[in-house]
Structure 1
């Protein structure tokens, strides 16, 4: 009969925490069921991602393959669609004009825009700075799509370029001017395009459906504005030219944008938006990780069994005889389980993205740091879910109950909140008070106050930040 050696706290080489970690790792890798569960976690993640990619296969017959998503200076997807009346500006210069109140054929959208803009050419997504009148948000100074600043009121606008710095000024009478802000556009070329613009986003009515979810109705709009008192100073050359940027965009189809010039005044009409893209053609990065949700369920099962199996078979007694400090045992189990689950998830999660892209689908661009956060964060969510299940299993010591509680706590709230079952308010509340809030780490596109959209869990937006 083998006699177990008594516990001695002084033998650090034999019963130290590193030794305990090694023992738990040996247990994990030698139990086929746990290793098989980890393999299932990886397998279902990849397979469901594969099926999702196959189900959303892009057909070039609808011209989707030919449409590139514009990318802004920060690496994010943008909407860059407006009518641009412009002339070349080489070096420093100043553009001044008075902007009339905006008008629209079916009213004026709150974020309809018209004003002055200095832009790095006419390529969609290129750097710019603009000083504009809006439909319901006063005068704004915006640049590079994501940056938005409220400016003092005034019908007169002025943009001044000094090197890479663009300074905005407003006036009520064209005589006394107030600073509206200054922005830097690093790398601005010597010659840029400067002029007048008008654009108006789609009219969207956002409401909760009868059975939950969000209903969005509306359509494209157009806005017009007149500019007079136009003055150009500095390195301007050539006359005015008109371009309908983004006129072929399916998100903001052209409504016949254009301009007319009469008596020194110019009237510009246009549709679209100059803003970050929160919707559009293509798949979000997180949509390629749909298989991670199924992988999380498998990870919950593995984490539960890693705790409950020892209680069911009585092996926990042997473990606690060798290492009586229960919290050290649980810490070692948590580190081993979290590490192996994270490594497995991190290895397979990028495969889903590669499969989606390789199947001809367009992924909406996001900054590299955001994409890294989504991938690594998703793997971390799966790993933490496994550790959470380990904790529940250690408390309940029964596999069925622990798995059921883990799924009810992590999986069910996520399903209810994102599947359009609940009204948006209830869905957001659920993702504030349950551990399913961790899925916010997958949100790749933030909310922007200058863009009206359905910012709900069903649309990929969460009430808490990533």
Structure 2
């Protein structure tokens, strides 16, 4: 691809990106692009004059079918603006943008299964601007193809109307953590009198010896940090700090969003982005658990390790 601020880039599988020359591209300084295929390897080249070509990147795509599609595209990401809310949090307001690209001197070497066709990728022509000014699509004119489009290139996300998996897992986690607590010493239904296993967190319960303080510790260290960072209440920096040092960092296992250095977006916990990778969040959660396990034996009573009222 040719970009206005980052020169020529070669992107594959939506997430991986290779930098080309990095030279700025404008209307007066166009670039020529070329893709070549050899087996499962696709190589991209760029040129300023059509004579001297420089390799931008080579990508191996295992299992690439014998026949593939090649085409032209134009994309323009949204322009985000942050509006302050709550105690310093921010909500994202975006402006729709559109771009047009003129492609000429188009050539194809090798076997072709058919001619060019105009296919929509995603949604288009739904805004008032497209309906009344310039529709998104492709037009062939004087031997060139003018492609007009909007939107970024990437995996579908919440902005497309889909519910991200981290929201689904978050709701499931809340339901599990809000299970009712049984009273100490009460018999289990249908089992007769005797000890009853509860949903008490074992480590805080062992350390504090009473369920209510254990609940308070779990809520303050896990539920509260997750809750206040899931909504745009706190500043992004503070929200990210909480998810880096508290046991709530373990929620990073839900991470499905990927930060792209050249993609303009609001990367914050309130938008579903966790500051730590999943493995780092789990490691921090395990470190907190290990610390509590190390403190628990010092607080447990002698004997079998449980007070009579806790059975």
TM-score (norm 1): 0.48
| 1:459 pairs with 2:254 | no
Match of residue 94, structure 2, among 208, 211, 218: 218
Q: For 1:392, what is the secondary structure of its paired residue?
A: helix
Q: 1:292 aligns with which of 160, 173, 176?
A: 173
Q: Tell me the CA shift for residue 285 of structure 1.
A: 2.4
Change (3 A) 1:216 1:249: farther
CA distance in 1, matches of 2:272, 2:220: 21
Partner of 1:278 in structure 2?
Answer: 157
> Equivalents in 2 of 1:220, 1:235: separation in Å?
39
Aligned CA RMSD, in angstroms, stands at 3.2
Q: CA 1:398/1:257 → structure 2, altered by over 3 Å: closer, same or farther?
A: closer
Question: 2:85 maps to what in 1?
Answer: 209
Give the drift of 1:237: 5.8
Q: Deviations over 1:185-222 (max 9, x none)?
A: 33333333223221222222234425443222123221
Q: In 2, Cα distance between the equivalents of 1:277 and 1:419?
A: 22
Tell me whether 1:196 sits opposite 2:84 in the alignment: no
Q: CA deviation at 1:297?
A: 5.0
Distance in 2, matches of 1:240 and 1:224, equals 18
Question: Which runs of 5 or more residues in structure 1 are unaligned?
Answer: 1-131, 310-336, 342-384
The structure with the largest helix share of the pair is: 1
What secondary structure is seen at the aligned counterpart in 2 of 1:286? helix
Q: Distance in 2 between matches of 1:250 and 1:293?
A: 37
1:224: how far off?
Answer: 1.0
| 1:433/1:176 CA distance change after superposition, 3 Å | same
Q: Is the 8 A contact 2:89 2:235 kept in 1?
A: yes
Counterpart selection for 2:46 from 158, 170, 173: 170
* 1:249–1:429 CA distance, 2 compared to 1 (3 A): farther
Partner of 1:388: 203
CA change 1:170–1:153 in 2 (3 A) is farther
CA deviation profile, 1:331-383 (whole Å, cap 9, x unmatched): xxxxxx9xx97xxxxxxxxxxxxxxxxxxxxxxxxxxxxxxxxxxxxxxxxxx
The separation in 2 between residues aligned to 1:156 and 1:205, in whole angstroms, is 34
Aligned pairs for 1:215-364 within 5 A: 215-236=91-112, 238-247=114-123, 256-279=135-158, 280-289=160-169, 290-296=171-177, 298=179
Secondary structure of the 2:64 match is coil
Q: CA 1:141–1:195 in structure 2 vs 1: closer, same or farther (change >3 Å)?
A: same
Distance verdict in 2 for CA 1:283–1:244, change over 3 Å: closer
- Which residue in 2 is equivalent to 1:61? none
Instruction: Normalising by structure 2, report the TM-score.
Output: 0.70
Change (3 A) 1:461 1:449: same
Once the two structures are TM-superposed, the CA of residue 427 in structure 1 deviates from its matched residue by 1.0
The structure in which a higher percent of residues are strand is: 1
The residue matched to 2:273 in structure 1 has which SS?
Answer: coil
Matched-pair contact (CA < 8 Å) for 2:76–2:98: yes
- Tell whether 2:20 aligns with 1:151: yes
1:118 corresponds to: none
Partner of 2:231: 419
Q: Which secondary structure state, in structure 1, belongs to the residue aligned with residue 120 of structure 2?
A: strand
5 Å-filtered alignment, 1:77-226, equals 132-153=1-22, 155-209=31-85, 211-226=87-102
Aligned to 1:345: none
Provide Cα deviations, 1:399-436, integer angstroms capped at 9, x if missing partner.
Answer: 44343233222222222222322122211111112111
Would you say the 8 A contact 2:82–2:90 is kept in 1? Answer: yes
CA contact (8 A) 1:199 1:271 kept: yes
Task: Report the CA distance between 1:167 and its aligned residue.
Answer: 0.7
Counterpart of 1:218 in 2: which secondary structure?
A: strand
Q: 5+ unaligned residues in a row in structure 2: which ranges?
A: 24-30, 186-196, 279-311
- CA contact 1:392–1:406 (8 Å) conserved in 2: no
Distance 2:224 2:71 in 1: 53
